[in-house]
Amino acid sequence: MNLRIPGPTPLPPDVMAAVGQQMINHRGPEFAAMLRQVTAWFQYFYETQNDLFILTSSGTGAMEAAVVNTLSPGDRVLAVSIGVFGDRFGEIASAFGAEVVKLRFKLGQPADPEAVAAALRDKGPFKAVLFTQNETSSGVTNPVEQLCAVIRQAAPEALILVDGISGLGAIRLQTDAWGCDVVLSGSQKAWMAPPGLAMISFSPRAWAAYAQAKMPRFYFDLGLARRYAQRGQTPATPALPVLYALHVSLERMAAEGIEATVARHAHIGAYCRQRAQELGLALFARPGFESNTVTAITLPKGFDSDQVLEQLRVDYDIVVASGRDPGVDMLRIGHMGYVSEADLDAVFDALRVILGRG
Ligand SMILES: *Cc1c(COP(=O)(O)O)cnc(C)c1O
Tens of pLDDT, residues 78-110: 999 999 999 999 999 999 999 999 999 999 999
Per-residue model confidence (pLDDT) at position 262: 98
Peptide bond into 326 cis (omega under 30): no
CA distance 60 to 95: 13
List, in sequence order, every beta strand (DSSP E) within the chain.
2-4, 51-56, 76-81, 99-104, 128-132, 134-135, 140-141, 159-163, 182-186, 197-202, 282-283, 294-298, 318-322, 331-334
CA distance 196 to 108: 29
Ligand 1, pocket residues at CB < 6 Å: 7, 58-60, 85, 132, 136, 163, 165-166, 186, 195
Strand pairing class (159-163; 128-132)? parallel
- The residues pairing with 197 across neighbouring beta strands, listed in sequence order, are 56
Query: Per-residue pLDDT averaged across 279-295, rounded?
Result: 97
Ligand 1 atom 5 nearest Cα:
59
Lowest-pLDDT range of 51-55, 288-292, 323-327: 323-327
In the reported structure, the alpha carbon of residue 186 is separated from the centroid of ligand 1 by a whole-number distance in angstroms of 7
Query: Per-residue pLDDT averaged across 181-185, rounded?
Result: 98
Q: For residue 168, name the pLDDT band (cuts at 50, 70, 90).
A: very high
Q: Which atom of ligand 1 is nearest to the CA of 133?
A: 13
Per-residue model confidence (pLDDT) at position 358: 66
CA distance 280 to 296: 14
Per-residue model confidence (pLDDT) at position 328: 82
Per-residue model confidence (pLDDT) at position 324: 83
In the reported structure, the alpha carbon of residue 86 is separated from the centroid of ligand 1 by a whole-number distance in angstroms of 10
pTM of the model: 0.98
Q: How many contiguous H segments (helices) and E segments (strands) does the chain have?
A: 13, 14
CA distance 203 to 278: 44
Please state the φ and ψ torsions of residue 244, each to the nearest 5 degrees.
-55, -45
Please state the φ and ψ torsions of residue 124, each to the nearest 5 degrees.
-75, -175
Which residue among 63, 133, 166 is best mutated to probe the pocket of ligand 1, counting the most ligand atoms within 8 A of its Cβ?
166
In the reported structure, the alpha carbon of residue 170 is separated from the centroid of ligand 1 by a whole-number distance in angstroms of 15
Percent of the chain residues past pLDDT 90, beyond the cut:
97
Ligand 1 atom 3 nearest Cα:
59
Q: For residue 184, name the pLDDT band (cuts at 50, 70, 90).
A: very high
In the reported structure, the alpha carbon of residue 165 is separated from the centroid of ligand 1 by a whole-number distance in angstroms of 6
CA distance 184 to 112: 22
Per-residue model confidence (pLDDT) at position 325: 77
CA distance 111 to 167: 16
Give SS3 for 352.
helix
Average pLDDT, the chain: 97
Which residue among 80, 131, 136, 142 is best mutated to probe the pocket of ligand 1, counting the most ligand atoms within 8 A of its Cβ?
136
Tens of pLDDT, residues 189-205: 999 999 999 999 999 99
Tens of pLDDT, residues 297-351: 999 999 999 999 999 999 999 999 999 877 788 999 999 999 999 999 999 999 9
CA distance 214 to 342: 51
In the reported structure, the alpha carbon of residue 150 is separated from the centroid of ligand 1 by a whole-number distance in angstroms of 25
